Amino acid sequence: MSRLILGVFLPFAAGYYLSYLFRTINTLISEPLSADLSLNAGSLGLLTSVYFLIFGAAQIPIGILLDRFGPRRVQSALLLGAALGAALFGASNGFLSLLLARAMIGLGVAAALMAGLKAIVLWFPRERVALMNGYMIMLGALGAVTATRPAEWLLNSTGWRGIFEVLAITTLAAALLIFLAVPESKIAQQARPAGLRLEAIFTDRRFWRIAPLSASCVGSAWSLQALWAAPWLRDVEGLNRETLVTQLFVTAIGVCAGALLLGTIADRLRRRGIGSETLLAVMALLFVLAELALILRLPLPSMLPWSVVAVVGAATVLSYATIAEYFPAELAARANGSLNVLHFGWAFAVQCGTGLILEQWPVQDGHYPLIAYQVAFGLSVAVQVASLAWFGVSWVRELGGRTVRSLLHHRSRQGASFEVTAPPSDIPIMEAHEDTEW
C-alpha cells in the first residue's frame, strides 16, 4: 500500500494541488491585478471564470482519453500546457493575452482531479474509494490554503507576475514527476476499453437525481471561494487586507478539513448501508442556510457561514464516491467527467454572472453595494433550492418503488396466488457495443 501511495497517489495529488491553487489564486491577486490593468468587475469575472468554462468543456473528451490511455500519459501531457499558460499569464500586459493564458491553464489542469480519481479506482480497493477521494481532495485543497497567506507573502515580494513564474516552474516539475514516477495503468495496457457508451451515463436516472444538486452547490461554492469571497469581505464586511487574507486562510483550511471529514463520514456510513448521496443532500441544505445567513445579514460571525461555503466546495468527495457506485470502473473517468461538466459549467455561470450583476449598481467609494451582492447570491440560492427539491422528490419516488418491490417479493415468498410482476427498474441497462468508440 505504501508503494501505491508514494508512486501513484501522491504524484496525482500534487497535480490536483496545483489545479486548486490555479483555481483560487485570482481571489488573492484580484485587487493588484485590477489596479495594474484597469479591470472592472465584469472583466475580472470573465477572466477568472474562463478557467471554469474551458475546464468544464474539456471534461468529457478528457474522460474518454483517461479511460483509453490511462491517467499517467494524459495528466503529464496536459500539465505541460498549464505550465506554458502560467508563464504566459505572468508575462501578459493586456486583457486578451491574460484571457488566453487563463484558458490555457484551465485546459492544462482539466484532468487533474479526474486523473487522480481514475488512478484511485484503478489501483485501490473499491470499498476505500470514498476515503481515498477524501484524502485526494484534502491534499488538493491545500492549494487553496497556499493561495492565501503563503501567496500573500510571495505577492508582496515578487508581485503577481512573480507568483505565476513560480507556478510555471512548479507545474512543469509536477508533469515530469507524474510521467516518470507513476507506473503504466492497467487500462492503458489494454488494446481498448470495453465499448460502453457515454449515452449510458446521460440516460441514467440516478445520475440526473444527483447531478443538479451537486453542480449547483459545489459549483457555487467554487465560484465564491475562487473569486467573490474577497470582494464580499472587503465591500460588505469592511475588512482590511490583513484581516481579509487571514479569513481566506482559515476558510481554505476548512476545505482541507471538510474533504477529510466528509470522506471519513461517507466511508463509515457506507458500512451501515447509507449512501454518500444522502450526506450530500445534508451538506446542500447546510450550504443554502449559510448563504441565506450571508444574504440576510444574520447576526453571526461571518467566519461561520463562509466556513460552510468552503467545506461544501469539498463535497465532490461525496459526488464522486456516489458516481463510483453507479458505474463500472471502465466508465469511471467518463462518468466523473460528465458530472464535472455541470460542476464547472455552473461555476462559470455564477462567477461570470456575479460580476455582470454587480456592474448594474454604481460603485460607492470604491465598493459595490450590499444589494448587488444580495441579488447575485440570491439567484444562485434559488437554483440550489430547486435542485434540492428535485433530489428529494426523486429520492422519495425511488424509495417508494423499492418498498413496493420488497412487499411484493415478500408476499410472493409467502405463497401468494397471484403472479408478481416487478415494475420496471429506474436503472437503465448499460450494453457493451464492440463497434462503439465511446
Asked if the structure places residue 438 within a domain, the reply is: no
Domain assignment present for residue 424? The answer is no
Enclosing domain of residue 371: 2-183+198-413
- Among 46-60, 331-345, 393-407, the range of highest mean pLDDT: 46-60
Tell me the C-alpha to C-alpha distance, in Å, between residue 19 and each of 147, 261, 433.
11, 21, 35
> Is 80 exceeded by the pLDDT of residue 398?
no
Q: Find out whether 187 and 70 touch, Cβ atoms under 8 Å.
A: yes
- Answer yes or no: is 351 within a domain: yes
- Classify residue 421: in a domain, yes or no: no
Is residue 419 one of the residues assigned to a domain? no
Whether 119 is covered by a domain: the verdict is yes
Inform me whether the pLDDT recorded for 380 exceeds 80: yes
Give the integer Cα–Cα distance in Å for 235 and 238: 6
Other Cβ atoms less than 10 A from the Cβ of 4: the count is 15
The number of distinct structural domains making up the chain is 1
Check residue 324 and give its pLDDT: 75
Cα distances from 264 to residues 15, 131, 133, in angstroms, run: 23, 6, 10
pLDDT bucket at 286, cuts 50 / 70 / 90: very high
Assign residue 54 the CATH number of its domain: 1.20.1250.20
> What kind and span of H or E run contains 416?
none
The reported pLDDT for the residue numbered 56 is: 86
Distances (CA, A) of 274 to 113, 322, 409: 25, 11, 22
pLDDT exceeds cutoff 50 at 428: no
> What is the rounded distance in angstroms from the CA atom of residue 271 to the CA atom of residue 266?
9
Q: Specify if 436 maps to a domain.
A: no
Residue 250 CB coordination number (10 Å): 16
The answer as to whether 387 is a domain residue is yes
Distance CA 41, CA 358 (A): 7
For the cut 90, the answer to whether the pLDDT of residue 191 exceeds it is: no
Joined together, the cell numbers standing for residue 434 give 464492440
Q: Alpha-carbon distance 313 to 285, whole Å?
A: 14
If you average pLDDT over each of 136-150, 278-292, 388-402, which comes out highest?
278-292
Model confidence band, residue 154 (pLDDT cutoffs 50, 70, 90): very high
Q: Where are the beta strands (DSSP E) in 97-177?
A: none
Distance, CA of 358 to CA of 78 (rounded, Å):
34
- Asked whether residue 422 carries a pLDDT value surpassing 60, the answer given is no
Cα–Cα distance, 233 to 310 (Å, whole number): 14
| Phi, psi at 432, each rounded to 5° | -90, 130
Over residues 18-38, the mean pLDDT reads 89
With beta carbons less than 8 A apart as the criterion, state whether 74 and 62 touch. yes
| pLDDT tens-digit series, residues 41-66 | 888 889 988 998 998 889 888 888 88
Q: Which residue has the higher pLDDT, 242 or 375?
A: 375
pLDDT digit string, tens, across residues 221-272: 988 988 889 899 999 999 998 898 888 888 888 888 887 788 788 878 878 8
The amino acid at 395: W
**What integer pLDDT is reported at residue 40 of this predicted model?**
85
* pTM beyond cutoff 0.85: no
Q: How far is Cα 218 from Cα 383, in angstroms, rounded to an integer?
A: 12
- The model's confidence at residue 331, banded by pLDDT at 50, 70 and 90, is confident
